[in-house]
Homo-oligomer: A and B are copies of this chain.
Amino acid sequence: MTRPTPPEPHRALTLRDVSEASGVSEMTVSRVLRNRGDVSDATREKVLEAARRLGYVPNKIAGALASQRVNLVGVVIPSLSNMVFPEVMTGISKTLEDTGLQPVVGVSNYQADREEQVIYEMLSWRPSGLIVAGLEHSEAAMAMLAQAGIPIVEIMDIDGKPVDSMVGISHRRAGRKMAEAIIAAGYRKIAFLGTHMPTNDHRARKRLEGFEEALAAAGLSLVDREFYSGGSALAKGREMTETLLKRRPDVDFLYYSNDMIGAGGLLWCLEKGLDVPGQIGLAGFNGVELLDGLPRRLATMDACRLETGVAAAEIIAGKRHSGVIGGEVIEFEPKLQPGDTIRKA
């Protein structure tokens, strides 16, 4: 293998090195490398050749400072292992791809103080825009966002007041809609199974609130509930389902706060030979691709993750010609996917 020999192992190269190597001014090199302004073909070739030969990589720090422009878009999400955020990221990345903007991910682990730190860190790099999951932030974080002077898009929740723009679904409404569908299908003894962090996962909380609202409107209420935290969601789904059904064998519907534990529950029910959806119905939330491979399709509700990512990125990139400057609100309609685990009404 022939690897090009580094001219000098270290001492970072600068524009001046390229300029000297190609016999033109630094300014001209800068123009060539950024494809800006008029440069003759001959000069351009000379410069590019020299840059390639030396292995020059521009220093964006200096460039950004001088031009006051940074092609970065910060994205602050609670978790990467959740399966739902990667899909949002896909939408963001795709949309940003041809704009010269680059997404930079930060993870808050569902902790407000950690989120505040991450936002601070991101803003200190003066990005072109910031996408943040959720509407709930520490007061300090909100103040920073409000003052940042760049487009801010809060995503995946629209039940509240945004700092600037927001894109996503109403989880309250999603919960309500699911409850209505379940009631319409004739289920009456409904239980909830979800994650054990009602104070941190605001979207799950709002979903449950909406769900209970709709139950109440029909004169019903949850007959039982079961919470978990940590571990393999699939395994936890099994365990919780078993625990709950042992405690309340009369329950006829299990509403899970996410598809993963729902899938675990479904597998458990099928193994036990329960009649799904006759004897007992199940539903999750998110519409993850995973469900396509299960023995039976779990009822769920699509959270429009891809669309959310795309729209958020479009706002940042200024691709959305709505006439509005900032303060946009885009609501997606979560679609019920009845699957095979809820009786046909």
Contacts and interface: CB of A to CB of B under 8 A. Distances in A.
A221 interface: no
Interface residues of A, number: 63
B70 A81 contact: no
A39 interface: no
Contacts of A303: none
A124 interface: yes
Interface string A249-273: 0000000000000011001000100
B267 A59 contact: no
A9 B150 CA distance: 11
A208 interface: no
Find the residue from A61, A83, A235 having the highest chain B CB count within 10 A.
A61
Contacts of A80: 80, 86, 89-90
B292 A126 contact: no
Interface stretch (A15-23, A141-149, A169-177, A188-196): A141-149
A293 B271 contact: no
Contacts of A62: 65
Given A64-B61, A104-B104, A290-B232, A144 B55 contact: yes
A65 B153 CA distance: 29
A245 interface: no
B234 A4 contact: no
Contacts of A235: 292-293
B147 A61 contact: no
A217 interface: no
Contacts of A60: 124-126
Contacts of A134: none
Contacts of A86: 80-81, 86
A81 B80 CA distance: 9
Contact of A149 (B4, B10, B234): B10
Contacts of A292: 231-232, 234-235
Contact of A124 (B57, B124, B149): B57
A6 B81 contact: no
A87 B81 contact: yes
18 contacts: A4-B143, A6-B143, A10-B149, A55-B147, A59-B124, A60-B125, A61-B64, A61-B70, A62-B65, A81-B83, A86-B86, A104-B104, A105-B105, A235-B293, A237-B293, A238-B293, A267-B293, A267-B294
Given A3-B143, A59-B124, A238-B293, 7 more contacts: A3-B139, A6-B147, A12-B149, A81-B86, A234-B290, A264-B293, A267-B293
Interface of A: 3-4, 6, 9-12, 55, 57-62, 64-65, 70, 80-81, 83, 86-87, 89-90, 93, 102, 104-107, 120-121, 123-126, 139, 142-144, 146-149, 231-238, 263-264, 267, 271, 289-295
